[in-house]
């Protein structure tokens, strides 16, 4: 959503992205992150390529007084990639997202966002917590919420500028909610609320979106709309990490899947990762239910994955 | 006609009535600004608890001949920070923490007072409020605290709203969410102290809650809720003061009842109409 002249200091990165074609979404784009994952983040190679949107290496994190919620998690997200974070309740998906954001201090390991610690790159990152963590009854309008995306520490004390309002309205137009800008957010339906939160991330101009269960509780049609918006964003170079319980969505929409159950159980292209073996490790006893859901995938990628796996075994 | 005008004008020819009105206007500003957050974050119990807790500080200050308002201020601040700490870092629930703190502080106050032979009129005025006894110095103190409270909210309005609406996102964006959660408790404590002399420990919560609650039935945006709440609050203050002057009623409870009536009427009116809010637009 950035426009020319918005933030001059990021233009260099944008140019590099164009030269190296990382904004592309095709299979070629998907090969790059694999090679980048091997490269050290800060050596000479970093100058040759734009830094990864997100690089997590050997991350251990958890809450005081409890055993670590995630252990030795490593993953990387290239620009323009959408990564589905899958796992049962309590697997550590939210913990992982919160430690990426620096809201939890890691016990060990490292997180790099666009090659830098997250506290230096906050304006490039947008976070959407689970919908139930938000106080929908609080008397703020849809526009107020989207404007929150514009907040950065250096701009504290200054009122929202005309430009902030333009960007917020533009973001609302993208999610088709411009006509509801003046409504109190609690008056919106579940799907509209998720779109407001996505608009808030868009208004931020963020290049990395961390979304904690943005699809929970949505019906198929609304989920399709939300995924459509996210897909458009990745085509513009946004990187997205999406925690979800919806395996068919991961199979059909995500470039990579990360199966998490305290540790990473499988990571890679969905057709390689969403296999019976990995899913049974990830979800433990819920395997049967999961397979039922998987079979329902409409584009057949998931079924192929399972067949390949069965054939190999 | 002249008689009617006189009925409205006469009370405020007295300096103590002017001070009472000025004091209640200050309370109305602070109560509306902070009360809007209190009502929408479900912090009414904190307000009530902080008010009761001030008795501990009031009693100590009174027995030692120190400034009673200062004693109230320090006690309220200590309990606000205590509540915030317990909420953030232990397994005791928020309302349990409030109850334990304020009952302890209140009991401590009663203990201190009970060592003296009897409750004195001065202390009773703190418990039940004494609008008509507000002095010039009290007024000045209230004004200073009110400027601090309103100034803070004006300066950090966006941050406070972000933390109230979505604390996780606010923290991720770099807002110091914990700081603003503490800050809200401290603002409540300061507001309680502002209103203490006028309204009294037992009734002070009313001015933080009833007008913003009424306004929240009528508006859905914070600035408008604060505005309506202020008008309602000043209106209730005037009604209470007239009732006190002309009908010889106790002023503090009269103000509270005068604030209660519009709430009850609004609630009844908005409930009878059925769901007030337009249904969500279909996707």
When comparing pLDDT for B124 and B47, which is higher?
Answer: B47
DSSP state string for B202-235: TTHHHHHHHHHHHHHHH-SSHHHHHHHHHHHHHH
**Chain B within 8 Å of A133 (Cβ-Cβ)?**
yes
Q: What are phi and psi of B78, to 5 degrees?
A: -60, -45
> How far is it, in rounded angstroms, from Cα A118 to Cα A56?
11
**Chain A within 8 Å of B91 (Cβ-Cβ)?**
no
The predicted pLDDT at position A21 comes to 37
Name the pairing type of β-strands A125-128 and A256-261.
Answer: unpaired
Which of A129, A152, A186 is facing B169, going by the closest CB pair? A129
Which of A125, A135, A221 is facing B164, going by the closest CB pair? A135
% of chain A beyond a pLDDT of 70: 73
Q: Contact at 8 Å (CB) between A97 and A104? A: no
Taking contacts as CB-CB distances below 8 angstroms, the residues of chain B near A111 are none
Of A245, A267, A240, which is closest to residue A256 (Cα–Cα)? A267
* Residues 6+ positions from B61 with CB-CB distance below 8 Å: B67, B68, B70, B71, B72
Which of A138, A157, A225 is facing B164, going by the closest CB pair? A138
Whether B130 has a pLDDT exceeding 50, the answer reads: yes
3 state DSSP class of A196: helix
> How far is it, in rounded angstroms, from Cα B68 to Cα B47?
19
When comparing pLDDT for B17 and A310, which is higher?
Answer: B17
Whether A45 has a pLDDT exceeding 80, the answer reads: no
The predicted pLDDT at position A19 comes to 38
The predicted pLDDT at position A246 comes to 86
Task: Provide the strand spans (E) within chain B.
Answer: none
> How far is it, in rounded angstroms, from Cα A229 to Cα A299?
19
Question: For B153-201, how does the pLDDT look when each residue is reduced to its tens digit (9 = 90+)?
Answer: 999 999 999 999 999 999 999 999 989 999 999 999 999 999 888 888 8
Work out how many CB contacts closer than 8 A connect A with B. 103
Question: For B59-109, how does the pLDDT look when each residue is reduced to its tens digit (9 = 90+)?
Answer: 888 888 888 888 999 999 998 888 888 777 667 787 888 888 888 988 988
Whether A22 has a pLDDT exceeding 50, the answer reads: no
Taking contacts as CB-CB distances below 8 angstroms, the residues of chain B near A122 are 172-174
> How far is it, in rounded angstroms, from Cα A6 to Cα A203?
12
The predicted pLDDT at position B121 comes to 64
Highest mean pLDDT among A272-286, B15-29, B186-200: B15-29
Of A219, A240, A218, which is closest to residue A229 (Cα–Cα)? A240
The predicted pLDDT at position B222 comes to 95
Distances from the Cα of A64 to the Cα of A61, A107, A111, B90, angstroms: 10, 10, 20, 11
What is the average pLDDT across A95-115? 92
Is the domain B18-271 a CATH 3.20.19.10 member?
Answer: no
> How far is it, in rounded angstroms, from Cα B225 to Cα B147?
20
Whether A99 has a pLDDT exceeding 60, the answer reads: yes
**Chain B within 8 Å of A165 (Cβ-Cβ)?**
no
The predicted pLDDT at position A232 comes to 94
The predicted pLDDT at position B162 comes to 95
Q: Do A138 and B161 touch (CB under 8 A)?
A: yes
Which of A135, A180, A222 is facing B165, going by the closest CB pair? A135
Q: Assign B126 a pLDDT band (cuts: 50, 70, 90).
A: confident
Which of A139, A152, A221 is facing B216, going by the closest CB pair? A139
Of B169, B283, B168, B176, which is closest to residue A201 (Cα–Cα)? B169
Task: Provide the strand spans (E) within chain A.
Answer: 54-61, 70-77, 82-86, 108-113, 125-128, 208-212, 239-244, 256-261, 263-268
When comparing pLDDT for A301 and B240, which is higher?
Answer: B240
Work out the minimum CA distance from A103 to partner chain B, whole angstroms. Answer: 7
Q: Do B162 and A103 touch (CB under 8 A)?
A: no
- Both structure tokens of A63: 């809450």
Task: Map A212-264 to HEC letters.
Answer: ECCCCCCCHHHHHHHHHHHHHHHHCCCEEEEEECCHHHHHHHCCEEEEEECEE
> How far is it, in rounded angstroms, from Cα B200 to Cα B131?
9
> How far is it, in rounded angstroms, from Cα B252 to Cα B256?
6
DSSP secondary structure letter of residue A116: B
The predicted pLDDT at position A217 comes to 84
Q: Contact at 8 Å (CB) between A254 and A270? A: yes
**pTM for this predicted structure:** 0.81
**Chain A within 8 Å of B276 (Cβ-Cβ)?**
no
The predicted pLDDT at position B120 comes to 64
* Residues 6+ positions from B72 with CB-CB distance below 8 Å: B54, B57, B58, B61, B126, B192, B193, B196
Highest mean pLDDT among A41-45, A138-142, A244-248: A138-142
Domains parsed from chain A with CATH numbers:
8-312 (3.40.50.300)
> How far is it, in rounded angstroms, from Cα B170 to Cα A245?
25
> How far is it, in rounded angstroms, from Cα A190 to Cα B282?
10
The predicted pLDDT at position B221 comes to 93
* Residues 6+ positions from B42 with CB-CB distance below 8 Å: none
- Both structure tokens of A48: 């040759």
Task: Find the residue in B nearest to A132 (Cα).
Answer: B166
**Chain A within 8 Å of B45 (Cβ-Cβ)?**
no
Report chain A's mean pLDDT, rounded to a whole number: 78
Whether A43 has a pLDDT exceeding 70, the answer reads: no
> How far is it, in rounded angstroms, from Cα A185 to Cα B280?
10
Least confident range of A51-60, A188-197, A225-234, A270-279: A270-279
Question: For A188-228, how does the pLDDT look when each residue is reduced to its tens digit (9 = 90+)?
Answer: 999 999 999 999 999 999 999 999 999 988 888 889 989 99
Question: For A63-86, how does the pLDDT look when each residue is reduced to its tens digit (9 = 90+)?
Answer: 888 889 999 999 999 999 999 999
> How far is it, in rounded angstroms, from Cα A139 to Cα B111?
43
The predicted pLDDT at position B127 comes to 80
Q: Do B167 and A133 touch (CB under 8 A)?
A: yes
Task: Map A297-311 to HEC letters.
Answer: CCCCHHHHHHHHHHH
Whether A313 has a pLDDT exceeding 80, the answer reads: no
**Which residue reads 């990490």 in tokens?**
A241
The predicted pLDDT at position B273 comes to 53
When comparing pLDDT for A269 and A303, which is higher?
Answer: A269
Whether B280 has a pLDDT exceeding 90, the answer reads: no
| Cα A218 → chain centroid | 18
């Amino acid at each position: 959503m950035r426009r020319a002249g918005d933030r001059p200091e990021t233009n260099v990165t944008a140019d590099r992205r164009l030269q190296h074609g990382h904004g592309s979404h095709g299979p070629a784009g998907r090969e790059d992150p694999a090679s980048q994952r091997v490269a050290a983040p800060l050596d000479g190679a970093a100058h040759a390529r734009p830094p990864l949107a997100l690089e997590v290496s050997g991350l251990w994190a958890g809450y005081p007084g409890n055993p670590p919620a995630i252990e030795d998690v490593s993953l990387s997200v290239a620009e323009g990639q959408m990564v589905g974070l899958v796992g049962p309740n309590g697997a550590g998906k939210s913990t992982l997202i919160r430690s990426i954001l620096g809201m939890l201090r890691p016990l060990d390991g490292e997180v790099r966002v666009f090659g830098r610690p997250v506290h230096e790159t906050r304006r490039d990152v947008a976070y959407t917590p689970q919908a139930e963590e938000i106080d929908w009854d609080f008397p703020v309008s849809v526009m107020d919420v989207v404007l929150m995306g514009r907040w950065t520490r250096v701009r504290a004390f200054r009122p929202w500028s005309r430009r902030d309002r333009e960007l917020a309205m533009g973001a609302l137009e993208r999610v088709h909610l411009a006509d509801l800008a003046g409504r109190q957010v609690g008056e919106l339906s579940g799907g509209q609320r998720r779109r407001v939160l996505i608009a808030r991330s868009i208004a931020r101009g963020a290049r990395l979106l961390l979304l904690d269960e943005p699809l929970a509780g949505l019906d198929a049609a609304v989920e399709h709309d939300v995924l459509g918006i996210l897909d458009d964003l990745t085509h513009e170079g946004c990187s997205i990490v999406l925690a979800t319980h919806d395996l068919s969505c991961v199979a059909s929409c995500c470039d990579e899947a990360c199966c998490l159950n305290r540790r990473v159980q499988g990571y890679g292209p969905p057709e390689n990762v969403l296999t019976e073996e990995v899913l049974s490790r990830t979800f433990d006893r819920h395997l049967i239910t999961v397979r039922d859901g998987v079979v329902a995938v409409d584009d057949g990628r998931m079924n192929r994955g399972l067949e390949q796996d069965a054939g190999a075994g | 006609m002249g008689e009617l005008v006189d009925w409205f004008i006469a009370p405020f020819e007295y300096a103590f009535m002017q001070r009472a009105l000025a004091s209640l206007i200050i309370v109305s500003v602070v109560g509306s600004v902070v009360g809007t957050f209190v009502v929408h974050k479900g912090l009414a119990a904190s307000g009530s608890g902080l008010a009761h807790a001030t008795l501990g500080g009031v009693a100590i200050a009174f027995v030692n001949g120190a400034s009673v308002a200062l004693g109230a201020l320090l006690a309220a601040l200590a309990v606000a920070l205590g509540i915030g700490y317990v909420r953030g870092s232990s397994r005791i629930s928020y309302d349990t923490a409030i109850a334990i703190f304020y009952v302890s502080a209140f009991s401590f106050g009663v203990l201190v007072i009970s060592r003296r032979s009897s409750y004195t009129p001065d202390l009773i005025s703190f418990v039940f409020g004494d609008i008509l006894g507000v002095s010039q110095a009290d007024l000045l103190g209230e004004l200073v605290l009110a400027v601090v409270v309103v100034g803070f909210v004006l300066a950090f309005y966006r941050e406070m709203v972000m933390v109230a609406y979505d604390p996780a996102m606010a923290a991720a964006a770099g807002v110091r969410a914990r700081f603003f959660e503490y800050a809200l408790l401290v603002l409540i404590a300061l507001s309680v102290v502002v209103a203490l002399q006028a309204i009294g420990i037992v009734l002070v919560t009313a001015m933080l809650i009833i007008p913003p609650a009424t306004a929240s039935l009528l508006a859905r945006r914070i600035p408008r809720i604060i505005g309506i709440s202020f008008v309602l609050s000043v209106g209730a203050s005037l009604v209470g003061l007239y009732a006190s002057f002309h009908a010889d009623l106790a002023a503090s409870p009269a103000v509270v009842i005068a604030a209660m009536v519009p709430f009850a009427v609004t609630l009844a009116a908005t409930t009878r109409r059925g769901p007030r809010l337009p249904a969500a637009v279909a996707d």
